[in-house]
Amino acid sequence: MGDFLGLVSQNVSAKSKLFGVDANERFTSEANNRYPSINFACERFDGRLDLPDTSFDMIVTIDVLECICDKEALLGEFHRILKPHGKVLAAHWDWDTMAYSAKCKDVARKAVSAFSDWKQPWMDNCDGQMGRKLWGLFEGSRKFRGKPDSFNLIETTYETGKYGFDRMQDIAKLAGKGRISREEYEKLHSELIENNAKGQYFFCLTSFIYDAEKA
């Protein structure tokens, strides 16, 4: 959140006021220290945002909605705090679209499924298919009118710092806990290392985007 708004601050008027919200106190504290010109607040959504009506020109939400239990309430709050003709830009990885090229395709499917359905302790809710649901969620509320788009992340190297590699480290934490066994994880991990050595590694993931205006 902090780095994203820090980047935005370099590309907008100096008169623009930026405001970020996150449920993690450590993240918001670090963001406030790193970007003192931006206001960050620690807040967990409980049905209402502590913000005034028609006070924002634009709202950007990235990979947040799957964690919200009452998504319709949050969209209602977005509508309330946006100015007339205000904009919403929503983006969300669709974790279920993660694809590893592997001969052990059944194991690869299990690995993706395990990660997609992983409800981490800090999450109030999880939905690994949230990306594909953005369009229907916003349009169905009749509070916004916009268009869908998508972005594909494609990687051809398997190494630390790459998204596909780092997600396999997350999946390692889930191995042996029901969805995928430790043996299956090791089999897939070994094959991906081998594919990388041969120059045959391939990973992709889709982020769906919704660009809209307040109705």
Neighbour tally for 49: CB within 10 Å: 17
Contact 65, 46 (CB under 8 A): no
> What distance separates the 2 farthest-apart alpha carbons in the chain?
57
Contact 95, 124 (CB under 8 A): no
Q: Which amino acid is at 73?
A: A
Would you write out the chain's pLDDT as a tens digit for each of its 215 residues? Answer: 678 898 888 888 888 899 999 888 888 999 889 998 889 999 889 899 999 999 999 999 999 999 999 999 999 999 999 999 999 999 999 999 999 999 999 999 999 999 999 999 989 999 999 999 999 999 999 999 999 999 999 999 999 999 999 999 999 999 999 889 999 999 999 999 999 999 999 999 999 999 999 99
What's the rounded Cα separation, in Å, for the pair 114 and 103? 18
**N-term to C-term CA, the chain:** 27
**Which residues does 191 contact at the CB level (< 8 Å), separation at least 6?**
102, 103, 104
Look at the block and give the residue holding tokens 């999946």.
171
pLDDT at 11: 87
pTM of the model: 0.92
pLDDT at 1: 61
Look at the block and give the residue holding tokens 């679209």.
97
Q: Which amino acid is at 98?
A: M
What's the rounded Cα separation, in Å, for the pair 177 and 114? 10
Domains assigned to the chain: 44-214 (3.40.50.150)
Judged by DSSP in three states, 130 sits in: helix
Residue-level length of the chain: 215
Look at the block and give the residue holding tokens 């001969």.
103
